[in-house]
C-alpha cells in the first residue's frame, strides 16, 4: 500500500477518537498555563499509544513530551491546546452567543491543533514501526501559545535542542503551507503606583496611576507614526485602578505587546515605549515598574521542508464538504461585513478558486506553495522552535472562508464537520511529511544545510529574560 493510503487509513481508523478529543478540549476551553484537563487528555492518548510521556517540562505543569522509538532522525511534532479569554460561544450557530458569559473559548482552533498534531504523531509512529524505519517521533504538548509563548519557555530550557526537524500546523480557512516569516514580539506589564486621595476634598494630595496609564497610551499612540510600518503596538489596561471615580487611583497597570519582523526591531521599539512610560511617570508624579511577561521570535521558514509538506498536502488533496457543511459555511460567511469579505477575497488570485469559494463558502482546494519575504502580520511561538531546528507548518481549512481569527465564528465552527475534516487533513499532511523524512533522512540533512545558511551564523536568543517564569494571566 502506498504511503498516502496507509497514513490515511491509520488516521481515519481512529477518527472518532480524535474528533471526540478535539471536542472535549473545545469544551474545556482552558487558557494559558492552566490547560490541565486538555494536557491530561492528550497525555492519556499518547500513553495508550505506547509513547513514553514526560510531563512538567520547563517548569510548566501543562508542557509535556511523548516519545516513541530511538535514534535519528528525531522528528518533533508540535501541538497547542490553549483557549482565549472572553470568547465563550455556543457551537454550531451563526450568531454571537456566549455559552458561559465571560468565559473562554477556542477562538484560534487550538482544540483541533493539538489533536491533529497528535494524530499525525500516532500515525507516523505506527507507519515507522511497520516499515521498520529507525528514528524517534516526538509529540510536544506546548501550552500557552496565546499571549504566553509556552514554546519560548520550552526553548529556553533546551527541550527542542536535539530535534532534527519540527512540524506543525494551524487551523485556518485555506489549505496551504507557510512560506513566510511571522512577527517577533515583546510583551510587558507597566505597573504604575501613585498616591490615593479623596478626588474632591484633596485631589492636590493625590498622584494618579490611572492618569499615568492614560498619558502613556497617548504617548505610545504618537509613537506609531515613527516606527517601521510593519511594527504593531497593542495595549490592554489590565488594572484601571478601581471602580471609584471619586478616589484618586493609586495603582494602575497596562499590558503592552510590541511586534516587528525581527526581535531586535521589536526590542528597539519596546525600549522607546519604556521611555514613554518614564515620561508618563514624570508627568504624573508616579512611579512605575516594567514586568516582562513573554516574547516570541520571528518564524524562519524552511524551504526544503515546506516544499515537501506542500507536495504531501497536494497529494492528499482538499477534503470534501457535504451539504450540511456547505450550508453552515455559507451562513457563517453571511455574518461577515462587506469589508471582511473583500479583504478575504483579495487573498485569492485564481478565478477558479474564487468560484469554488463562491459556490461552497469553503476554500476547497490546496493553494500552491509560495515563498515570500513579507512576514505575515501575526506571531507564533513556533518561531522560537524554528530558530533551533528546521521547521515547517501548514494551515488546513477548519473554517468557512474569510472567518476572522480570534472570533466567535471560529469558536462556533470548532466542533463542526468542517473543523474535524480540516484537522484530519492536517494530521495526514504532517504524518506523510514525517514519514518521508524517516524514509529519506538525506532530506533532513538538506533542510539543516538550508537552515544554517538562512541564519547566517546567528543563533537563538530567547526573547524572555531568564528571571521571568511562566504564569497564568493575572
Ligand atoms: Zn493560534
Residues 260, 292: one domain? yes
Residues 173, 211: one domain? no
Domain assignment present for 288: yes
**C-alpha 271 – ligand 1 centre gap (Å):** 27
Q: According to the model, what pLDDT value does residue 457 have?
A: 92
Residues 332, 421: one domain? yes
Domain assignment present for 469: no
Domain assignment present for 463: no
Residues 344, 449: one domain? yes
Q: According to the model, what pLDDT value does residue 147 have?
A: 79
Residues 29, 165: one domain? yes
Which residues of the chain fall short of a pLDDT of 50? none
Residues 140, 248: one domain? no
Residues 318, 190: one domain? no
Domain assignment present for 126: yes
**C-alpha 149 – ligand 1 centre gap (Å):** 11
**C-alpha 370 – ligand 1 centre gap (Å):** 21
Question: Strands 74-80 and 176-177: what pairing?
Answer: unpaired
Q: According to the model, what pLDDT value does residue 377 have?
A: 86
**C-alpha 195 – ligand 1 centre gap (Å):** 40
Residues 311, 400: one domain? yes
**C-alpha 256 – ligand 1 centre gap (Å):** 19
**C-alpha 406 – ligand 1 centre gap (Å):** 8
Domain assignment present for 191: yes
Q: Is residue 308 classed as helix, strand or coil in its secondary structure? A: helix
**C-alpha 219 – ligand 1 centre gap (Å):** 30
Residues 233, 375: one domain? no
- Candidates 142, 106, 143, 136; CA nearest to 121 is 136
Chain Cα centroid distance, residue 48: 27
**C-alpha 343 – ligand 1 centre gap (Å):** 20
- Report the C-alpha gap between 30 and 39 in whole angstroms: 10
- Report the C-alpha gap between 433 and 123 in whole angstroms: 12
Number of domains the chain contains? 2
**C-alpha 129 – ligand 1 centre gap (Å):** 32
Question: Among 277, 296, 315, where does a domain finish?
Answer: 296
Residues 101, 245: one domain? no
**C-alpha 109 – ligand 1 centre gap (Å):** 7
Q: According to the model, what pLDDT value does residue 472 have?
A: 75
A 10 A CB-CB count for 99 gives 16
Residues 325, 242: one domain? no
Can you give the CATH number for the domain in which 263 is found? 3.30.70.360
Chain Cα centroid distance, residue 334: 26
**C-alpha 144 – ligand 1 centre gap (Å):** 10
The region, left, alpha or beta by phi > 0 then psi within -120 to 50, assigned to residue 144 is left
Q: Using CA atoms in the order 350, 351, 352, 357, what is the torsion angle rounded to 10 degrees?
A: 90
**C-alpha 397 – ligand 1 centre gap (Å):** 14
Q: What is the DSSP letter of 292?
A: E
Domain assignment present for 460: no
Residues 310, 285: one domain? no
DSSP per-residue letters across 336-383:
S-HHHHHHHHTT---HHHHHHHHHHSS--SBPPP---SSPBSS--THH
In which domain, by residue range, is 245 found? 184-296
HSE on the CB side for 342, CA within 13 Å?
3
**C-alpha 156 – ligand 1 centre gap (Å):** 21
**C-alpha 167 – ligand 1 centre gap (Å):** 15
The alpha helices in 78-161, defined as continuous H runs, are 110-130, 150-156
Strand order in the sheet with 391-397: 52-55, 64-70, 135-142, 74-80, 165-172, 391-397, 176-177
Q: According to the model, what pLDDT value does residue 473 have?
A: 64
**C-alpha 404 – ligand 1 centre gap (Å):** 12
Amino acid at each position: 500500500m502506498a504511503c498516502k493510503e496507509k497514513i490515511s487509513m491509520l488516521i481515519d481508523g481512529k477518527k472518532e477518537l480524535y474528533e471526540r478529543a478535539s471536542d472535549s478540549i473545545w469544551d474545556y476551553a482552558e487558557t494559558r498555563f492552566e490547560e490541565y484537563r486538555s494536557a491530561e487528555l492528550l497525555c492519556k492518548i499518547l500513553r495508550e499509544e505506547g509513547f513514553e510521556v514526560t510531563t512538567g517540562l520547563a517548569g510548566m505543569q501543562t508542557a509535556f513530551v511523548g516519545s516513541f522509538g530511538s535514534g535519528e532522525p528525531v522528528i518533533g511534532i508540535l501541538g497547542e491546546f490553549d483557549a482565549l479569554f472572553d470568547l465563550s460561544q455556543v457551537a454550531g450557530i451563526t450568531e454571537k452567543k456566549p455559552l458561559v458569559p465571560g468565559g473562554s473559548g477556542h477562538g484560534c482552533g487550538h482544540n483541533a491543533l493539538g489533536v491533529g498534531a497528535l494524530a499525525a504523531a500516532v500515525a507516523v509512529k505506527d507507519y515507522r514501526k511497520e516499515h521498520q524505519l529507525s528514528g524517534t517521533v516526538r509529540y510536544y504538548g506546548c501550552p500557552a501559545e496565546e499571549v504566553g509563548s509556552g514554546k519560548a519557555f520550552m526553548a529556553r530550557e533546551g527541550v527542542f535542542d536535539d530535534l532534527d526537524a519540527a512540524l506543525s500546523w494551524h487551523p485556518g480557512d485555506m489549505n496551504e503551507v507557510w512560506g513566510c516569516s511571522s512577527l517577533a514580539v515583546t510583551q510587558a506589564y507597566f505597573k504604575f503606583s501613585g498616591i490615593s486621595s479623596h478626588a474632591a476634598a484633596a485631589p492636590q494630595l493625590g498622584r494618579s496611576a490611572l492618569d499615568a496609564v492614560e498619558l502613556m497610551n497617548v504617548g505610545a499612540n504618537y509613537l506609531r507614526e515613527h516606527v517601521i510600518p510593519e511594527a504593531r503596538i497593542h495595549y490592554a489596561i489590565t488594572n484601571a485602578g478601581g471602580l471609584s471615580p471619586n478616589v484618586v487611583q493609586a495603582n494602575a497597570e497596562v499590558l503592552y505587546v510590541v511586534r516587528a519582523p525581527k526581535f531586535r526591531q521589536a526590542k528597539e521599539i519596546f525600549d522607546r515605549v519604556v521611555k514613554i512610560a518614564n515620561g508618563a511617570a514624570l508627568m504624573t508624579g508616579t512611579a512605575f515598574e516594567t514586568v516582562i511577561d513573554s516574547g516570541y521570535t520571528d518564524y524562519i521558514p524552511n524551504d526544503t521542508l515546506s516544499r515537501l509538506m506542500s507536495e504531501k498536502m497536494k497529494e492528499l488533496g482538499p477534503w470534501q464538504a457535504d451539504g450540511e457543511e456547505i450550508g453552515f459555511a455559507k451562513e457563517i460567511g453571511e455574518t461577515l461585513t462587506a469589508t471582511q469579505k473583500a479583504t478575504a477575497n483579495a487573498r485569492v488570485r485564481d478565478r477558479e478558486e474564487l468560484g469554488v469559494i463562491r459556490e461552497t463558502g469553503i476554500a476547497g482546494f490546496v493553494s500552491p506553495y509560495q515563498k515570500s519575504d513579507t512576514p505575515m502580520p501575526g506571531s507564533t511561538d513556533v518561531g522560537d522552535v524554528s530558530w533551533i531546528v528546521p521547521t515547517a507548518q501548514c494551515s488546513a481549512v477548519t473554517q468557512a472562508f474569510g472567518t476572522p481569527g480570534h472570533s466567535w465564528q471560529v469558536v462556533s465552527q470548532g466542533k463542526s464537520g468542517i473543523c474535524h475534516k480540516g484537522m484530519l487533513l492536517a494530521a495526514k499532511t504532517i504524518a506523510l511529511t514525517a514519514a518521508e523524512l524517516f524514509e529519506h533522512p538525506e532530506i533532513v540533512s538538506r533542510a539543516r544545510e538550508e537552515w544554517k545558511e538562512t541564519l547566517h551564523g546567528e543563533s537563538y536568543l530567547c526573547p524572555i529574560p531568564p528571571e521571568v517564569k511562566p504564569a497564568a494571566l493575572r
